[in-house]
Amino acid sequence: MSIEAINEQLLRAIGVGVALLDAKDLSFRFQNDTFVEWFNPQEDQDTLPKLLPEFDAEALRKELEASKRFTAEVSFRKKRRSMIFAADFTLTSEQEGNFIVLVCQNISRIREMESMIDSYSMMVERNTREIKREKEQVEKLLLNMMPRSVYEEFKTFGVVTPKLYDPVSVLMLDFVGFTEMAASADPSVTVSELNDIYSAFDRIGEQFGCERIKTIGDAYITVAGLPDPTPDHCRAVANTAVRFLRYLERRNQGHPNQWRCRIGIASGPVVGSVVGIQKYVYDIFGPAVNLASRLQECSEAMEITTNAVVKENLNEQFMIEGRGMRKIRGFEDQEIFRIMDSRKGVL
Amino acid sequence: MATQTLFEKYGGFSAVSRVVLDFYDRLLDSDEIGPFFDNTDMSKLVDHQTKFIASLLGGPSSYTDEQLKQLHTHLDIKDPHMDEMKSVLAGTLTDHGFSGEDTEVVMNELEARRAMIVG
């Protein structure tokens, strides 16, 4: 076999489509096997414009005149399949005249892959956005259950080490006659009102740097001095307690349901930690919690009760009244005090 | 713990992408269902097949019943077309190494959506 014959064989069998065009009328002079297989030219499609009616022949001529080369992406519909080719045209001058060598690469699969990657990345991006949104919701929920610094620890290490906070002030609030109220009135109304009140308490507490720890039914517990130490934790909690009462008084004036509470305030050390493995609860433990609860029991409706330790730390901003010695279950007998709103009657 | 989806089991996107393109080829080559795509833009069809396969295999996409209905409502798809499509897909999955059991699962998923597609 001669070299020429081998060359022609190669040219015919090569995996790119090759055609030779007459530069004058763009008629085909040669098409290799791959070209024929791809474009399947019919008898009457003997020129490039006839084979590819959408092809911009004018642009081809102009560009070839200017630079002897032209590249374009050509799409061709074979049966129902869109085929896309990268077409490369080169002008050559031979003795017989000017010819254009057309070399086509089938880039359909590349374009299909690109479309698929676009489609897939859009799905993934949408999913990522959804996951992010869900994560934010979970984070929000967890931040409602524990202080941010505790949450950060939990997120990083998967566990929370119990931590001693000393000193802090604990405010314990309980509603008078809640059980009867929940039983007599429409329970859903009662709970929805309780929700409003707790939300208001949260906002008030936040203003004074208190961290709500939990609510158990009609009991509400908030703390100052945790997770970051606060020098005036007693004052923060007393201020919060006074505003809780003010809020309830004002609310009661315009509502048929009367909400009346008792408050106890105590200072001391507490340990804060996440409790539980399946159901996480951030909680605090310690004598200050128990004492606040006992002192709250000493209050009458709409009263705030505390002991000497807290009283010493409160300034003249508060009106404080001694209530004498009391037996406190689980603690030494001690003098208790009532904290009153110094702005009483001003509102 | 969440169970592994078929999408994950058979190698995630890198493997499923081959299934998608092969399925796309076979659909176009089929003279029974190919004509439905005579005038469909390539990228639109690839997008549709990608989402379709991904949602059937539990990948990161989901076509709601409403969307499926809307996509097919203007086409005159009859039960034999749907059967042919199922057999094309089953063949594709088998050739890509899906076990008979898993192919069956996918076929059941598809069958569950027949009412949305055939109209």
**Each residue of B27-52: pLDDT tens digit?**
888 888 888 888 888 888 888 888 88
Q: Which residue reads 């405010």 in tokens? A: A171
Q: Which residues of chain A lie closer than 8 angstroms to B37, CB-CB?
A: 80
Q: What is the pLDDT of residue A345?
A: 44
The beta-carbon neighbor of B38 closest among A80, A119, A127 is: A80
Contacts of B61 (CB under 8 A, 6+ apart): A123, B50, B51, B54, B55
pLDDT at A113 over 50: yes
Query: What secondary structure, in 3-state letters, does A37-95 show?
Result: HHHCCCCCCCEHHHHCCCCCHHHHHHHHHHHCEEEEEEEEEECCEEEEEEEEEEEEEEC
Domain assignment present for B3? no
Q: For chain B, first and last CA: distance in Å?
A: 39
Domain assignment present for B51? yes
CB contact under 8 Å between A80 and B37, yes or no, is yes
Calculate mean pLDDT across residues B80-98.
92
CB contact under 8 Å between B34 and A79, yes or no, is yes
List of domains in chain A: 3-106 (3.30.450.20), 156-340 (3.30.70.1230)
**Percent of chain A clearing pLDDT 70 (strictly above):** 98
Q: What is the pLDDT of residue B57?
A: 87
Reported as a pLDDT band with limits 50, 70 and 90, residue B1 is: very low
State whether the Cα torsion A181-A187-A192-A198 is positive or negative.
positive
Q: Which residues of chain B lie closer than 8 angstroms to A113, CB-CB?
A: 17, 21
Q: Name the H helices within chain B.
A: 6-9, 12-29, 42-56, 65-72, 79-95, 100-112, 114-117
Q: For chain A, first and last CA: distance in Å?
A: 113
CB contact under 8 Å between B50 and A124, yes or no, is no
Q: Per-residue pLDDT tens for B71-82?
A: 888 888 889 999
CB contact under 8 Å between A112 and B42, yes or no, is yes
Both tokens assigned to A299: 């209050």
Both tokens assigned to A203: 């906002």
Q: Which residue reads 């190494």 in tokens? A: B97
Higher pLDDT among residues A116 and A345, named by residue: A116
pLDDT at A240 over 90: yes
Q: Reduced to 3 states, what is the DSSP secondary structure of residue A334?
A: strand
pLDDT at B24 over 80: yes
Residue B14: give its domain's CATH number.
1.10.490.10
Domain assignment present for B4? no
Q: Reduced to 3 states, what is the DSSP secondary structure of residue A318?
A: coil
Q: Taking CA atoms, what residue in B is nearest to A119?
A: B47
Give dist(CA A53, CA A57) in Å, integer: 9
Q: Which residues of B touch A (CB under 8 A)?
A: 13, 17, 20-21, 24, 28, 34-35, 37-38, 40-43, 46-47, 49-51, 54, 59-61
Q: Please check whether residue A35 is in contact with residue A19, taking contact to mean a CB–CB distance below 8 angstroms.
A: yes
CB contact under 8 Å between A127 and B60, yes or no, is yes
Domain assignment present for B67? yes
Domain assignment present for B75? yes
CB contact under 8 Å between A113 and B13, yes or no, is no
Calculate mean pLDDT across residues A303-331.
87
CA A250 to chain centre: 37
Reported as a pLDDT band with limits 50, 70 and 90, residue A346 is: very low
Q: Cis peptide before A167, with omega less than 30 degrees from 0?
A: yes
Q: Please check whether residue A274 is in contact with residue A285, taking contact to mean a CB–CB distance below 8 angstroms.
A: no
Range in A19-23, A233-237, B72-76, B89-93 the model is least confident about: B72-76
Give dist(CA B23, CA B63) in Å, integer: 18
Q: Please check whether residue A213 is in contact with residue A221, taking contact to mean a CB–CB distance below 8 angstroms.
A: yes
Give dist(CA A276, CA A274) in Å, integer: 7
Q: Please check whether residue A264 is in contact with residue A296, taking contact to mean a CB–CB distance below 8 angstroms.
A: yes
Q: What is the ipTM of this complex?
A: 0.85
State the nearest Cα–Cα gap between B20 and chain A, in angstroms: 9
CB contact under 8 Å between B38 and A115, yes or no, is no
Calculate mean pLDDT across residues A292-318.
89
Give dist(CA A144, CA A136) in Å, integer: 12
Calculate mean pLDDT across residues A101-120.
92
Q: How many CB atoms lie within 10 A of CB A168?
A: 28
Provide the domain count of chain B: 1
Domain assignment present for B27? yes
Which is nearest to B85 in space by CA: B13, B42, B5, B30?
B30
Q: Which residues of chain A lie closer than 8 angstroms to B42, CB-CB?
A: 81-82, 84, 108, 111-112, 115
Domain assignment present for B2? no
The beta-carbon neighbor of B47 closest among A113, A119, A127 is: A119
Chain B touched by A308 (CB under 8 Å): no
pLDDT at A317 over 80: no
Q: What are A57's strand-pairing partners?
A: none
CB contact under 8 Å between B59 and A123, yes or no, is yes
pLDDT at A237 over 90: yes
Which residue range forms the structural domain that includes residue B73? 10-117
State the nearest Cα–Cα gap between A78 and chain B, in angstroms: 10
Q: Which residues of chain B lie closer than 8 angstroms to A124, CB-CB?
A: 60
Give dist(CA B23, CA B56) in Å, integer: 13
Residues in chain A: 347
CB contact under 8 Å between B43 and A113, yes or no, is no
pLDDT at A347 over 50: no
Give dist(CA B18, CA B60) in Å, integer: 16
Burial category of A131 from C-beta neighbours within 10 Å (exposed 0-12, middle 13-18, buried 19 and up): exposed
Give dist(CA B34, CA B44) in Å, integer: 15
| Cα Rg of chain B, angstroms | 14
Q: What is the pLDDT of residue B2?
A: 59
Q: Please check whether residue B47 is in contact with residue A117, taking contact to mean a CB–CB distance below 8 angstroms.
A: no
Q: What is the pLDDT of residue A191?
A: 85
Domain assignment present for B5? no
pLDDT at A184 over 90: no
Q: What is the pLDDT of residue A228?
A: 85
